[in-house]
Structure 1
Amino acid sequence: MAYTFSRDDIAYLTSAPGVAALAEVGDFALTPASLLKDLERVRKSHADFASALVETVRLRRRAAVKLDNAQHWLFTDDALQQATPTAVARHRAQRLAGRTVHDVTCSIGAELAALAEACPAVIGSDLDATRLAMAAHNLGAAQLESTGHVRSPRNVVLVQADALVPCSSAEVVIADPARRADGRRTHDPAKLQPPLPDLLAAYAGRDLAVKCAPGLDFDKLAWAGEVEVVSLDGAVREACLWSPGLTEPGVTRRATVLSSTGEPWTLTDVDSDDIPEREPGEWIIDPDGAVVRAGLVRHYAAKHGLWQLDPRIAYLTGDKVPEGVRGFRILDRMEFREKPLRAELHRRDCGPLEILTRGVDIDPDALRSRIKPRGSQPYSLVVTRIGRTATVFLCATP
C-alpha cells in the first residue's frame, strides 16, 4: 500500500536536513529484494521520517522518465500516476500561450510548471492541502534548471478550493479529473473525481480544457468542441477535451504525435479522408495510436498516399512507408489457418516472431507458443480480417 504523506513530512523533506537525508537515501538500492533491509537502515538514522524518505526516492526514480527535473520533486503515488508528462503538458501550455489559466485540479503541479512558462498568470487550486504543499515546492524545483535556485515563479498563485465551485475569472479553466473510483480505474465519465458531467456544468460557457483517459467513450458526451488524442514516443498518453473557443473552426477530432527526438505533428478531421479501395500494396503500416483513437485513420492514409486493408480495420497499406514510420514489407499472404501457417514458417526457418493482430480474437503469445518457431530468421505476422476472412500477412521484420 502506498505511503500517505503528511504536512509534517513535506516540511521535513523540504528542509536542509531533509534534503541531505534524501541525498543519502538516494544512494540505497531500494529494490524489491533490498527494500526491507534498506528501510531498517534508514529508520536507524532518520526514525519517524524513514518511510517518507524511502517513498520519495522511489517515486523520483519512477518519475525520471516522465517529468523534467523529477529528482527534485515531491510526489504521492497516485499523483505521479496521473501526472501529465512534461512534453505533453508543454504541448497543452503552448496551445494556451498568452492567456490567463486556472488549473482547478492542480495536484502536485505538473501542468502548472508548463503553464508558468507560457502564460502570463496562472492559478492552481486543489482540495488536498498536502498536494498543494508539494506543488509549491515542485514549482520552485522546476525553476532550478533555468535559474539554479529553488524559487516559485511569480506568475503562479496556489489556493485550496473545490474544483466544482468556480473561484476565478481566468480566461481558461483546465482540469484533470481523477480516474479512479472505489480504488479502481474507471472509464465512466460520471465516476471521475470530480465527475465530468458536473465539471462541464460548473464551467458552462467558459473556455475549458479537460484532460481525460483516451479510453473514455467521447461520443456519449456529445462534446461540442474538439477531442484531441495525444501520443508520446509511440504510446497514447491522454485525450483532452477542448471547448469550441479553444479550437479551430470545424475541428472535432485531432491526433497529436509527440516525440522526444523528432518534430511533433498533428492531424484533424478537417483534413481530407479521400482514399482509394485497392488490393494490398507492398507494405503494411500500423498508424500511431493517437491516429487510431482519434478516428483519423483514413485522414492519415490520405495524407501519405496509403489505403486501408479493410474499411473497418485500422491497418493501412501502400507502396511506400511514410518517413520515420515503421512499415512491414509483405512477403506472402494466406488465409489464416494454423497448420499451413506453421508449416510455411518452419519451411522459412522462422525464429524470432513478432505477431500483430487487429479485428481477430487471437492471443499473439498463445499463437507463437503453438507455432513453436525454432529457426534463425526473424519474421513478422500481421493477422487481421479482410471482409469476413481472417487473413495473415507474412512480413519481413523491420
Structure 2
Amino acid sequence: MEQAELTALLTAQGLRMVDEIGPLATTGEVAAAVSRLRGAGHSPDLVAAVVGQAHLRTRAAAKFGPFADRMLFTRAGLEQATRLEIAARHAARFRDAGLTRVADLGCGIGGDALGFAGIGLDVVAVDADETTAALAAYNLAPFGEAATVRHGLAEDVDLAGVDAVWLDPARRTAGHSETSRTRPEDWSPSLDWVFDLAARMPVGVKLGPGLDRGLIPDDVEAQWISVDGSTIELVLWSGALRRDGVRRSALVVRTGAAHEITAASDADDEPVRELGAFVHEPEGAVIRARLIGDVARELQAGMLGEGIAYLTSDAALTSPFVQSFRVREAMPLKVPTINAALRWNGIGTLEIKKRGVDVDPAQFRRKLTLKGDASATLILTRVGEGKAAQRLALLVDRV
C-alpha cells in the first residue's frame, strides 16, 4: 500500500466506503467495484485503497473470523499475521505465567497484539514499517490505552516496565505486497540479538517451522504448531514462558480442538516393521519436533520405511497427532498395476500422498484412469530399509 492510498483510506469517507462496499471475493467482483467507484468520480488512490481492503478483509476471514470485518491489512501483513486462535493461545501462556505487560516487537498488522489485548494484557506494539504500524494502530484502537502502537526498530525500544517480549523478526524483504524470504543473518532484528534478549528475560519468538534446528538454543522450549493440516510456525519460549522439563513440543489444532505432545528431548524412532493393516501420517508439527517415536509407541506402530515419516500398525488405534488410513491393497509403484486396481475398485475420486519417492502427484494423476463412484487415497512411498526397501503404492481409506 502506497502512502497516498493510506492517506485516502484513513479518512471518514475512506473507512465508511470500506465498510459499505461489502466482501469482494473474486477478481470479477473487484473489477466491477473499481469500475463503479471510478465512475462515481472517486480518486484512483481512494478506489485502490477501498477495493484492496474489501478484498483483503474477505481473505482475512480465515485467520481472523468476524474480527476481519473491522480490520485493515496489507497483503504481506495478512500473509504473515498469526491466526487469531493461535495468537490467543500464545497470549494465554503469558497470562498464565503471571506476565501482564508485553512488548510485541515486529507487530505487523497487530494479529498477536490482538491476542494479548483481547485477554486483558497491556501491550506495546512496535513495527519498523510506518504504514504497517499505522494499520496496527487502527486495528488495536478498540482496546484504548491497553494497547499502544509505535513506529520504530525493535532494537531501539525501551523495555523498562515491560514484563516480557513477543518477537516476530522480519524474515522477508520489505514491502506490502510481494516479498521473498531472507537468510537468518539478514533478519531484523538479528537472531543473535533476539537470543541475547531471550537469555535475559521471558521471550516468545515466532519463527518459520523449517528453521535450522542447529540454531535453536539449548535453554529454550521449541514448540512447533500445525493448524488444520498445515505446519504454520515454530515458537521458542524462554524464561518464565518455558515449561519445566519441556524442550520439544508439538501443538496440533484441527477445527478448533487443540492437542499437544511434549518431551524433554527428541524422541527415539521405533524400528522399521512390515506393512500392517493401518498406515499413519504424523502431523507436520510432530515431524518437525522429532516426536514421531512417542506417537508410534502410543499407536503400537513402527516406521513404514527407513527415514520415511509414515507409521504402520495392526492395532485399530489412532490419535490427534496423525491421520490414519486402513490399507486396502499394496502394489508395486507402476502405473499399469495401479490403474488396474483403480478400475477394479471403481475409484473415481482419488487423493494422492507421497513421501520418499521422486514423484510429482499432479503429474502422476494425469497418468491414472479414474472412473467410478468410489473414493480412496493413494500413498506412494518407500517401504522397508536398506537393500530390501521397495517403492510401493498403497491404496488406503481414511479412518
For residue 394 of structure 1, what is the aligned residue in structure 2?
Answer: 395
User: Where in structure 1 are there 5+ consecutive unaligned residues?
Assistant: 141-150
1:118 deviates by: 3.4
Q: Helix, strand or coil: the match of 1:18?
A: helix
8 Å CA contact 1:60–1:71 kept in 2: the answer is yes
Equivalent positions of 1:52-131 (< 5 A) are: 52-68=49-65, 69-97=67-95, 98-99=98-99, 100-118=101-119, 120-131=121-132
Does 1:173 pair with 2:141?
A: no
1:210 deviates by: 1.1
For residue 188 of structure 1, what is the aligned residue in structure 2?
Answer: 183
Distance 1:119 1:305, change over 3 A: farther
Which of 149, 164, 171 is the equivalent residue of 2:155?
164
Q: Distance in 2 between matches of 1:190 and 1:372?
A: 49
Does 1:252 pair with 2:243?
A: no
For residue 144 of structure 1, what is the aligned residue in structure 2?
Answer: none
Q: Distance in 2 between matches of 1:302 and 1:157?
A: 48
1:341 deviates by: 2.9
* One-letter identity of the residue aligned with 1:8: T
Distance 1:8 1:110, change over 3 A: same
Q: Distance in 1 between matches of 2:337 and 2:144?
A: 65
* Deviation per residue, 1:143-167 (Å, 9 max, x gap): xxxxxxxx32432232233112241
1:248 deviates by: 2.1
1:376 deviates by: 3.7
8 Å CA contact 1:308–1:316 kept in 2: the answer is yes
* One-letter identity of the residue aligned with 1:195: S
Q: Distance in 2 between matches of 1:384 and 1:193?
A: 40
Distance 1:383 1:121, change over 3 A: same
Q: Helix, strand or coil: the match of 1:66?
A: helix
Does 1:268 pair with 2:259?
A: no
Equivalent positions of 1:1-398 (< 5 A) are: 8-12=7-11, 15=12, 17-26=13-22, 29=24, 31-43=26-38, 44-47=40-43, 48-68=45-65, 69-97=67-95, 98-99=98-99, 100-118=101-119, 120-140=121-141, 151-169=142-160, 170-181=162-173, 184-186=179-181, 188-201=183-196, 204-222=199-217, 224-262=219-257, 264-270=258-264, 275=270, 278-318=273-313, 319-322=315-318, 326-386=323-383, 387=385, 388-396=389-397
Distance 1:5 1:208, change over 3 A: farther
8 Å CA contact 1:116–1:153 kept in 2: the answer is no
Q: Distance in 1 between matches of 2:210 and 2:179?
A: 14
Q: Helix, strand or coil: the match of 1:309?
A: strand
Q: What TM-score does the superposition give when structure 1 sets the normalisation length?
A: 0.86
Distance 1:123 1:391, change over 3 A: same
Q: Distance in 1 between matches of 2:4 and 2:292?
A: 44
8 Å CA contact 1:231–1:256 kept in 2: the answer is yes
8 Å CA contact 2:198–2:239 kept in 1: the answer is no
Q: Helix, strand or coil: the match of 1:285?
A: strand
Q: Helix, strand or coil: the match of 1:206?
A: coil
Q: What TM-score does the superposition give when structure 2 sets the normalisation length?
A: 0.86
Q: Distance in 1 between matches of 2:358 and 2:244?
A: 39
Q: How many residue pairs end up in the alignment?
A: 382
Q: Helix, strand or coil: the match of 1:339?
A: helix
1:119 deviates by: 5.2
* Deviation per residue, 1:286-312 (Å, 9 max, x gap): 122211222211122223333321242
